[in-house]
């Protein structure tokens, strides 16, 4: 019996890329590949790339340069680039790095087996189309191996918002939602394999409008269908746009027991002028009133957000408006970045903020966010939370899991296993986690 071929995948970027990498591994599993954790003994290397951050393409070329020695020592080694950089760069990748054998965009992963076979014949393979067929249905079904207690499940891809700073509409395409019955089947399959919490993924997940039995179904409708899945204990979703947070979804946060009290709802700036230049189509005031409605529905909900600092033409007054919004919302988590130009986007052509000014603003914003995060985390001491345990902690006899609010929680000397769901009384608050004891 021949030895299986080995596949090494390096994943950059968001949770959707993590999900896509899993599916690519499954697709190539049908070609006799098994995953390896090291590129050194791989028969195929795939870089699943992200194009959101500055110089993303250059980082990929740098990574590819490190594989030249491997390719020289192992001529049969196949190297591929997938994901959003692949979609954006296309043939340029093969021109600049002749060692690359295949380039595949994020909508064409289901064609990987045919592309891999082509490379074995000594040909190059390039596919950055936006095919009409559903890649998820074409991909090989997930093998029935045991899974950890949490999993991602992509329900929607692409974006029609065209924010002035973002490349997603160009690399992932227009908004497309998967049919509800296929999502339910995949969720049931994950639960049968040990998953107890599912995070629904989409570039603009709350714009979900997938085909249902009685017409298009919204994200709220999908959540209520998933709520019926026996053995599924927790539901989350990310990433959302304020303009698509409809009444039914807000209500679900207050009435659906399996929907966790955590919501990632990016606003990007607190300045209406900057929001307009970003093409966000909402105001700071409308965002704050939306937060009020969500908290009315679920008072204990923990809010998370995204912020871009130093967007073109941002003044001190604009930045202060962002600080004011953050102070009012008090996020439990938030992700903040200094603006970086993305070629081909409208904002790239506008007057840029001085880098030192943007750095100083970012430090001030992050200090405020960190203070709020710590205050909220410290306030959990004395409370009882529900923890889904996932893995052993750093200390012997310790297990770590996530609360309903996504806080990392560890307990010591407790008889718990991965996948167990327990009530835990919080006793301490550390830098990045909470400590507690079973109730």
Q: CA-CA distance, 25 to 23, in Å (whole number)?
A: 5
Q: Give the per-residue pLDDT at 129.
A: 75
Q: How far apart are CA 268 and CA 335, in angstroms?
A: 10
Write phi, then psi, for 230 (nearest 5 degrees): -60, 135
Question: Minimal CA–CA distance to 28: which of 82, 67, 86, 95?
Answer: 82
Question: Can you say which residues are annotated as belonging to the binding site?
Answer: 14, 50, 84, 159, 163, 166
Hunting for tokens 């995060």 — which residue is that? 373
Q: Where are the alpha helices (DSSP H) in 68-196?
A: 68-73, 83-89, 91-96, 112-120, 135-138, 168-171, 180-192
- CB atoms under 10 Å from CB of 75, counted, come to 6
Contact (CB, 8 A) for 212 and 173: no
Task: Using alpha carbons, list the distances in angstroms from residue 141 to 125, 189, 331.
Answer: 24, 10, 38
Q: Tokens at residue 353, please?
A: 């903020």
Q: CA–CA separation, 107 vs 128, rounded Å?
A: 8
Cis-peptide, bond into residue 286, ω within 30° of zero: no
Say how many residues make up the chain. 439
CA–CA separation, 318 and 303 (whole Å): 22
- The pLDDT, as a whole number, for residue 137 is 62
User: Which pTM was predicted?
Assistant: 0.81
Binding residues for [4Fe-4S] cluster, by number, are: 14, 50, 84, 159, 163, 166
Task: Give the model's pLDDT for residue 131.
Answer: 58
Residue ranges of the chain with pLDDT lower than 50?
140
Spatial strand order of the sheet with 333-338 comes to: 262-264, 302-309, 333-338
Domains along the chain with CATH numbers? 5-127 (3.40.50.12160), 135-378 (3.80.30.20), 384-438 (2.40.50.140)
């Amino acid at each position: 019996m021949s030895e299986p071929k080995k596949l090494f995948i390096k994943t950059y970027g968001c949770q959707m890329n993590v999900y896509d990498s899993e599916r690519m591994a499954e697709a190539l599993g049908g070609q006799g590949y098994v995953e390896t954790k090291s590129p050194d003994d791989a028969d195929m290397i795939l870089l699943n790339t992200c194009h959101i951050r500055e110089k993303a393409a250059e980082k990929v070329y740098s990574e590819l340069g490190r594989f030249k020695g491997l390719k020289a020592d192992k001529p049969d080694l196949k190297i591929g680039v997938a994901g959003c950089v692949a979609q954006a760069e296309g043939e340029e990748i093969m021109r600049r790095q002749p060692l690359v054998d295949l380039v595949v965009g994020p909508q064409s992963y289901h064609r990987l087996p045919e592309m891999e076979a082509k490379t074995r014949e000594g040909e190059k393979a390039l596919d950055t189309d936006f095919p009409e067929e559903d890649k998820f249905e074409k991909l090989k079904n997930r093998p029935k191996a045991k899974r950890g207690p949490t999993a991602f499940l992509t329900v929607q891809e692409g974006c029609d918002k065209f924010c002035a700073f973002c490349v997603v509409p160009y690399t992932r395409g227009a908004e497309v939602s998967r049919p509800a019955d296929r999502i339910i089947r995949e969720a049931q399959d994950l639960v049968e394999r040990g998953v107890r919490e599912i995070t629904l993924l989409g570039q603009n997940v709350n714009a979900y409008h997938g085909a249902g039995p009685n017409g298009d179904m919204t994200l709220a409708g999908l959540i209520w269908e998933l709520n019926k899945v026996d053995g599924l204990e927790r539901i989350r979703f990310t990433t959302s746009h304020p303009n698509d947070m409809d009444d039914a979804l807000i209500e679900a946060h207050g009435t659906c027991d399996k929907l966790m009290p955590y919501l990632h709802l990016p606003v990007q700036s607190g300045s209406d002028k900057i929001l307009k230049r970003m093409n966000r189509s909402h105001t700071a005031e409308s965002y704050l009133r939306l937060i009020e409605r969500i908290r009315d529905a679920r008072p204990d909900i923990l809010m998370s957000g995204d912020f871009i600092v130093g967007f073109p033409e941002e003044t001190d007054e604009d930045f202060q408006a962002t600080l004011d919004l953050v102070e009012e919302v008090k996020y439990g988590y938030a992700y903040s970045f200094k603006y970086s130009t993305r070629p081909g986007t409208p904002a790239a052509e506008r007057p840029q903020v001085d880098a030192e000014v943007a750095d100083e603003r970012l430090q001030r914003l992050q200090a405020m966010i960190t203070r709020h995060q710590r205050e909220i985390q410290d306030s959990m001491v004395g409370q009882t939370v529900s923890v889904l345990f996932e893995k052993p902690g750093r200390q012997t006899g310790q297990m770590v899991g996530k609360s309903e609010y996504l806080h990392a929680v560890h307990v010591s000397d407790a008889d718990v296993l991965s996948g167990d769901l327990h009530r835990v009384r919080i006793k301490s608050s550390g830098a990045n986690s909470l400590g507690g004891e079973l109730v």
